[in-house]
Amino acid sequence: MESGGESAIATGAAALAAAVESLTALPLIPLPDTDIVALMQQIETCTRRLASVQRDLIVQACARSLPALNGSGSPALYLQSVLHISHGDAINRWRAAEDLAVWHRVGDDADADPVPVLPNAAQALDEGAISLDHVRVIRQVMNRLPGKVPAEARAYAEQQLARQARALDPTHLPRIGEMILGFLDPDGKLTEDADRQNQRSAVLSPQRYDLMSTLTVELTPDARAAFDAVMAKLARPGMCNPADKESPWAEDEDNPVPRDVLEACAARDERSKAQRQHDALLAVLHPDFNPAKLGSHRGLPVATIMTMSIEDVEHAAGVATLATGGQVPVENALRLMARHCKTFVLVKDKNGMPLHIGEIRLANPAQRLALIATERGCTRPGCSAPASMAAAHHVTEFSKGGPTDIENLTLACDQCHGLVKDGPRGWKTIKLGADSDFPGRTAWIAPAHVDPTRTPQVNHLHHPGELLTEVPPSVRPRRVCRASGLSPVRYRVLGRAVTPLPRQ
């Protein structure tokens, strides 16, 4: 780009910042009602038009391989890292850029003028007539179109959706989408099994403050049939009721549930159908006493792996950490141990050191359980991959004489593990010394193009308490409730330097 173009962009960005600064400093009280509404609409239009600029900036970042240079596994993770936005917002922006931006890809016809996948939606966003939420709904409807829908009909659907989006809010747009889908495939003959397979999904949300989660599932017909069959047996009134000690949690031909027992349990069952299905799903996820039937994952049996401190066990309070990155109250964890499900538990002392590893004798699984308990997930700073998605990594590479000892092992997901290599673009891992703020923890050293200071950094995402300053009583986390028995928690202030262990 010529220097004049660079100057124009810098001038425009500065003018935008100055305008926002000036507008935020002005009092809004003198404005009449009509002006308030007009100003809200004007700012909304400007915000939507800026989304087009953000979209084009994402294209430039990808064209220059900035996500890869930053060590991010995907453009969405890169946006999440550099913009400090939620993962869902980052994915929404990236997917909008995929379908609304003009991409110049290798192999494209040099004489052809590239156009966005959703040209009408792109134009509407450029004009500020629709928002990224409109774009998200339009993408969802377009992705549901059967593969056999002709290109002309597909273009018609996108045009109609973009036109209706200019007048409707995103919550009403799906109804238009259903009408278009019904118009294009009224008898369902165009929809094939491949179309259904493309739509299948199961998305588990992050845990809320109360440790609950939302599971959103798109079932194929086969999966729905299997689901219905299981629910018909295990979600009956009286079955799998956690509030009823006499409620049966399993039934088969060899061990049928007596009819009078089930009828008595059903008579006092006050759960809704949705709650019964939840409890039935819990029973399915913890099959009869033998997780070995489910195979293994990264050298360990597929089972519930929980970590808790000895103090929490003694007081039946606090939370236990799962290998998948989630948490369950210790009281529930102890109940799971006593119930029919297979569970591996690592108990730690007050200093966080392993006290006892139950039912494990082989060295490698025991080491992995210790890593799950102490590190909880991938140790590269900024990576949120839980322990269930991470492998044991040698801090000092095995090929360079690094021993397979617990002191030389850490957790790293596949994406981050691939970043550790020699050369100017490689990441390094070290263990921190006893005089550091986090002794024994694994620190990562980014390459110079990511961090010119090459300062060792630890990952705090799996240890959220480290990210908080001292919490006053008036703003304590809502998770610390009266029923949990937890005492107020005080957190250290970050910002102190970390010191690596001396090299051997």
Q: Which of 96, 90, 100 is nearest to 67 (CA)?
A: 90
Residue labelled with tokens 């989304």:
51
- In the structure encoding, which two tokens stand for residue 189, read together? 């003959």
- DSSP symbols for 92-131: HHHHHHHHHS----TT--TTS----SSHHHHHHHHTTSS-
> Pairing mode, if any, of strands 304-309 and 343-348?
parallel
Which is it for strands 304-309 and 300-301: parallel, antiparallel or unpaired?
unpaired
Decide if pLDDT at 384 tops 50: yes
Q: Which residue has the higher pLDDT, 308 or 351?
A: 308
The reply to whether the predicted model has a pTM over 0.85 is no
Predicted confidence band at 480 (pLDDT cuts at 50, 70, 90)? very low
> Looking at residue 339, what DSSP letter applies?
S
Please tell me the distance from the alpha carbon of residue 50 to that of residue 13, in angstroms, as a whole number: 11
Residue 298: pLDDT band with limits 50, 70, 90: low
How far is it, in rounded angstroms, from Cα 360 to Cα 198? 40
Amino acid at 484: S
SS3 393: strand
Mean pLDDT over 200-224 rounds to 85
pLDDT at position 146 = 87
Please tell me the predicted confidence (pLDDT) of residue 499: 41
pLDDT at 468 over 60: no
What amino acid occupies position 398?
A: F
Percent above pLDDT 90 for the chain: 34
Three-state DSSP class for residue 79? helix
